[in-house]
Structure 1
Amino acid sequence: MKTIFEKDGFSEVLERLDRLSPQSQAKWGSMNVAQMLAHCNAFQDIPMQKTQSELDFIGRFVGPFIRPMMYNDKPLPHDLSTIASIKMTDEKNFDVEKITLKSKLQEFYEAGPNSCDGVIHPFFGKLTGEQWGKGVYKHLDHHFQQFGV
């Protein structure tokens, strides 16, 4: 499984991010490309500890059993439900969201896996830095595939 913390995974993510445009169309889901970038920005705030995250009630019971889906080699399902606090429905500025995501990813990459070791995912619970690295890559890969890059 690729990780955002390895140079190849990080470089690939940035290259794919650069291929997105305001005209990129979703293959599934209800978000437009700017909303998807805003969603990825909000998600990125969790492992970077820029937003407080607590384990969801249902996650307390189900999370430990399905946690591997966050960092295993299987693609995320298209109909996976979104954390309510990072679901985007209002209009967003594509250019602002893209620049912000690049900046956050650079900061996260440079901070390394120790920076997020033990941080709680709202549904999957406490993750190691290695698991977060794979999970962030996998989450971005899921949404980049959603928009054909």
Structure 2
Amino acid sequence: MKSIYNKTHNLELIDRINKLKPESQAQWGKMNAAQMLSHCQGPIDVAFGDLKLKPNFLIALLGKLFKNKILGAGEFKKSSPTAPQFIRKETIDFEQSKKELIFKITQFSELGEKAIKSNKHPFFGEMSFEDWDRLQYMHLDHHLKQFGQ
């Protein structure tokens, strides 16, 4: 599996992001390209400790039960559920959101494990650096594939 901490893999993700256009069409789901770029920042903000989400008890329990299965799958299923805080319905500035996402992704390769400030995921519970790596890469890859990248 590719790693978000790996400079080469990180640059591949950024190259795929740079191929997106505001008019890029989703192959599934409801978001447009700008909303997707903004959406992808939410989970990174959680890992960086900039966004704190409080799950309810049932969600946290389910997440712990399914963590290994989901992370072990290697990719997310189309139209997988997401936290309400990550849903974007408003108008988003494509270029600004793209710039912000690229900056955040770059932090993973520049800072490595130091980029992660939270060892707890609101759905999966306790997370190792390897878990965060797998989750972040899978999430970005999922949404870039959603838009043909």
SS of 1:82's equivalent in the other structure is coil
Q: TM-score, normalised by structure 2?
A: 0.91
Which runs of structure 2 are paired with 1:116-135 in the superposition (5 Å)? 116=116, 119-135=119-135
Task: Indicate if the aligned counterparts of 2:120 and 2:127 stay in contact, CA closer than 8 A.
Answer: yes
Is residue 3 of structure 1 aligned with residue 3 of structure 2?
yes
Taking the aligned partners of 1:53 and 1:46, their CA distance within structure 2 comes to: 8
Which runs of structure 2 are paired with 1:48-87 in the superposition (5 Å)? 48-87=48-87
Which runs of structure 2 are paired with 1:1-149 in the superposition (5 Å)? 1-116=1-116, 119-149=119-149
Taking the aligned partners of 2:48 and 2:122, their CA distance within structure 1 comes to: 14
The answer to which of 9-18 and 55-64 deviates more is 55-64
Residue 14 (structure 1) shift = 0.9
Task: Indicate if the aligned counterparts of 2:3 and 2:134 stay in contact, CA closer than 8 A.
Answer: yes
- Taking only the aligned residue pairs, the percentage that are identical comes to 32
Write out per-residue CA displacement over residues 67-104 of structure 1, whole angstroms, 9 at most, x where no aligned residue: 12453243201121111111111110100000000111
* Cα 1:23/1:125, change in 2 over 3 Å: same
Taking the aligned partners of 1:114 and 1:27, their CA distance within structure 2 comes to: 35
Q: TM-score, normalised by structure 1?
A: 0.91
Residue 7 (structure 1) shift = 2.0
Task: Indicate if the aligned counterparts of 1:55 and 1:125 stay in contact, CA closer than 8 A.
Answer: no
* Cα 1:86/1:76, change in 2 over 3 Å: same
For these two proteins, the number of residue pairs brought into alignment is 149
5+ long unaligned stretches in structure 2: none
Moved over 6 A (4+): none
SS of 2:72's equivalent in the other structure is coil
Task: Indicate if the aligned counterparts of 1:115 and 1:129 stay in contact, CA closer than 8 A.
Answer: no
5+ long unaligned stretches in structure 1: none
Corresponding letter in the other structure for 2:11: S
